[in-house]
Structure 1
Amino acid sequence: MTAYTLAHFSDPHLGPLPAAGWRELANKRLSGFFSWTRNRVDIHKPEVLRLLVEDLKRHAPDHIAITGDLVNISLPAEFRAAARWLQSVGTADKVTVIPGNHDAYIDMPWSESLAQWAPYMAGERDGVDHASEPQSSSDFPFVRHLGEIALIGTSTAVPMPPFIAAGRLGSAQLDRLRRQLLALGQRGLFRVVLIHHPPFGGGAYKRKSLLDAKDFQAVIAEAGAELVLHGHTHVSGLGRIHTAKGPIPVIGVPSASAVAAGHKDASRYHLYRVSRQADSWRLDVDIRGLNAAQNAFAAQGSMSMAIPLLVSPNVPVAGAAA
């Protein structure tokens, strides 16, 4: 297999906020509005996001994955603006998006919110072998096939009370995820699970965590995966989900539009180069981030790892060259 390059970034938090009347802000959005105008507007910079996208395009990845939080307080105008921005990043066959908690800040009509990005979330759904666009916020996960790589897009985006940024997959989605991962594993594919919240819950940040993280880990331990990618924390992260067949890497990136602030990292994105070896997958990761002058992106490190094949290397893989 020729190396396939997947780019990953997250949490662009597109600004500026569109104009909004008091009727639109008379809910959880009000706290988010004040958070943005008093603090976040100085952290999330459109020019930083522009530099990231320009740098990413120069490296010409085969596909781009964005793990949520495109908007800030879920105003209808934000979703429309994000749809236009996505078109500037790439076409829907080259870019995959999943929602984050800010993309479900309040309960609102599907047609006015995530439906605006539906082409970027098209894929095979449970029990269906052809790609389709999601029809509701519960129409997850989906699978996109990229040669020997399968992207599995989940949604942890559910409306939460004010000052709560937690997420939840729910039992129905977890059951569908388990079935999809098992089927993809039987085909010998490199399975990349996209999730907004990191799959490690509880602790001091319970109000911001994945509430059913243990259930997600149990699904991964049973069904398997080769890589889990997330955002949400606005810091770089490297973790593991331990399984009977070995640890599965869990990698997070900071906000794509952020400058360094407090304990949060400045903008970074990753380039993952996946290639199949005789008895394993090789994963090479290039880390690129905002430089100190905040005027360009530069190499900030790399890492490589071998991930065991979960099927015999002699078993033919669908779509692979003989």
Structure 2
Amino acid sequence: MARRAALRVLYLALLPVLVLLALVITPALVVSSVMSQGRVWRPETWKKISYGSRYFRSSFRGRLGEVVDVIDVVRDRLILLFVLLAAACGAGGLAVHALEIGVPAWLSAWLDGSFLSFLASWFPAGGRLSFGGGAALVLAVCTALAALALGLSLYAWLASALGEATRVILRYGGAATLFPDPGDAIPGGRLVLCQISDLHITAGGREPYEIEEGSAAWPEGAPRPDTAELTGRLQRLVAEIAAMKPPLVALTGDMTDLGEEAQWDELEAALSGIPASSQVLMVPGNHDVAINLGTSPDPYLTKRAEREQRFIEVLTRVERGSFQPPLHLPARKRAPRRLRAIAGLYPRRLDLEGGIRIFGLNSNRYRSRFVGSNAIGQIGGAQLRRLARALRRGSGPVIVLLHHHVARLAGPISLNDTFMIAMDGPRLLEMLAAYQQKNPKKNSALVLHGHKHLAFFGHYRSKSGGRVSVYAHPSSTLGHETDGHLDGVARFAAIRLTDDGIWRVETHPLRPARSAVPAPAPAEAEVS
């Protein structure tokens, strides 16, 4: 009998849990099936789950951050909520007193036999509701509605988190692998563009956020990277670039440290030395549009809308060239409209002499609301589809510029890859590899990016044989980072193309004017 009773209790306890899991998992599977476009049950997708689970964790951290943001918002408005609740209870008490509402007999009987018997005096059988009884009734209704809303919100949040995680794992889970190219210098090649990236310009004498908080170590003996030092380094880099007179100057994100207006002003002043003969293309980085410090969450994306508006305004003054689509400055009235405005700007296309096509992408489509997920990259399906259509309309060498990494280096998988690689970076590489394979001698493809202050040359080769070259540029003002330590060497990259369709990348280090840190010699490498 005791065992049977225990089993009955166990069944009764497990049944709601199983029902809840079914209700949560079912929409998650539906979402994953729809978003993966029928590729859910292919065998190769399951091979990606081991790596894709890292994206699941990052996505789930993003969802947890949203919950924290909501709690912060509620906490900040707690006094207002209490005032509104007290007003509602007072209004309810006055209403029942004025309307002379009677007390149902069942309510009094239930109160007498429950743990709420101390409230029975407020609800006398056959009598009228008192002021206190009306207020208590309103309070009970508000509490029940709040509990119901909380339960529904929690259910929707869990279903959304599981659905998003499943979609990320099955659709974007397997990160592509880059293999290093030999560092043999190849003579010749005409200059196509100069690249600078991850400037992290500050304002007011501050140092970059990551250095101030201690997540990145600055070399001893080097001048501190405050506003004057960073802008001074950038001005000297621009002067060297101007002497080369490149057809295009490309800025691949994180131009500012926190996307503030004063930081953009400092950047514009430092970039004023770019020669008028050079065109300028700029793509956003997470520090430009998506950064949310731990003390300043952005649950409603209003701050992001302001940063994106500011970025577009800077584009109108900094960019030079016949880009498609043309710039459109959105109205400042509504945040959703401003968020849609930057989505329609990319990919930005620019045609150079020799049939070279340049495409700038925005890899910050992931809507981060707190600091833990601001570095997660996502290009987005709409942007990739527009790029695919543009590639089909032409041929010739192609350079794609974006901020986030698109693949990981060959070797052990690192948890840091989650915040380095755009979730749909493999899809971009497959698209470019297919383009290159159509005409291997003519359709050479190169991806240029920045993001994690790492410098490497590599190539990606698809299963069908297509090949894409990838160059990651470190911070042009802070240097290359190894295990959290920056080398403090400013540098820019010069991208050249040989007559044989081979991409050549030259890194040009700049010796800081007052630094005791030695700068390495210029490096050249083939990244065909």
TM-score range, shorter chain: 0.7 to 0.9
Q: CA deviation at 1:6?
A: 1.5
Amino acid aligned to 1:141: P
Q: CA deviation at 1:246?
A: 3.6
Alpha-carbon separation, structure 2, partners of 1:197 and 1:182: 24
What SS is found at the alignment partner of 1:219?
helix
Amino acid aligned to 2:383: Q
Q: CA deviation at 1:267?
A: 2.6
Counterpart pick for 1:150 among 357, 363, 379:
357
Q: Percent identity?
A: 21
1:27-69, Cα deviation, whole Å (9 max, x unpaired): xxxxx98545445794574233233222222233232111111
Query: Would you say the 8 A contact 1:11–1:70 is kept in 2?
Result: yes
Counterpart pick for 1:116 among 311, 314, 328:
314
Alpha-carbon separation, structure 1, partners of 2:407 and 2:506: 24
What SS is found at the alignment partner of 2:501?
strand
Say whether residues 1:200 and 2:407 are aligned partners.
Answer: yes
Q: Which residue of 2 aligns with 1:271?
A: 494
Counterpart pick for 2:455 among 231, 236, 241:
236
Q: Which residue of 2 aligns with 1:5?
A: 192
Q: CA deviation at 1:16?
A: 2.7
CA 1:140/1:237 → structure 2, altered by over 3 Å: closer, same or farther?
A: same
Alpha-carbon separation, structure 1, partners of 2:486 and 2:208: 20
Number of aligned residue pairs: 283
Alpha-carbon separation, structure 2, partners of 1:155 and 1:283: 23
Q: Which residue of 2 aligns with 1:140?
A: 346
Alpha-carbon separation, structure 2, partners of 1:38 and 1:283: 38
CA 1:64/1:211 → structure 2, altered by over 3 Å: closer, same or farther?
A: same
CA 1:217/1:299 → structure 2, altered by over 3 Å: closer, same or farther?
A: same
1:226-258, Cα deviation, whole Å (9 max, x unpaired): 111111111202222213354211001110111
1:41-190 equivalence runs, <5 A: 42-43=224-225, 45-46=229-230, 47-91=232-276, 94-105=279-290, 106-109=303-306, 110-118=308-316, 120=319, 123-125=322-324, 132-135=326-329, 136-138=341-343, 139-148=345-354, 149-158=356-365, 159-160=367-368, 161-164=370-373, 165-185=375-395, 189-190=396-397
Select the structure that is richer in helix. Answer: 2
Query: Would you say the 8 A contact 1:43–1:260 is kept in 2?
Result: no
Amino acid aligned to 1:172: A
Q: Which residue of 1 aligns with 2:133?
A: none
Gaps of 5+ in 2: 1-187, 219-223, 291-302, 330-340, 437-443
Select the structure that is richer in strand. Answer: 1
Amino acid aligned to 1:162: V
Q: Which residue of 2 aligns with 1:303?
A: 525
CA 1:63/1:294 → structure 2, altered by over 3 Å: closer, same or farther?
A: farther
Query: Would you say the 8 A contact 1:10–1:255 is kept in 2?
Result: yes
Query: Would you say the 8 A contact 1:69–1:100 is kept in 2?
Result: yes
Point out the structure with max Rg over C-alpha: 2
CA 1:203/1:123 → structure 2, altered by over 3 Å: closer, same or farther?
A: farther
Counterpart pick for 1:284 among 493, 504, 518:
504
Amino acid aligned to 1:5: V
Alpha-carbon separation, structure 1, partners of 2:419 and 2:312: 24
> CA RMSD, aligned part only?
3.2
Alpha-carbon separation, structure 2, partners of 1:236 and 1:33: 20
TM-score, normalised relative to structure 2: 0.48
CA 1:86/1:50 → structure 2, altered by over 3 Å: closer, same or farther?
A: closer
Query: Would you say the 8 A contact 2:490–2:510 is kept in 1?
Result: yes
Query: Would you say the 8 A contact 1:121–1:142 is kept in 2?
Result: no
Amino acid aligned to 1:228: V
Alpha-carbon separation, structure 1, partners of 2:262 and 2:225: 21
Amino acid aligned to 2:198: D
| Structure showing greater relative contact order (alpha-carbon pairs closer than 8 Å, 6 or more residues apart) | 1
Moved more, 35-44 or 254-263: 35-44
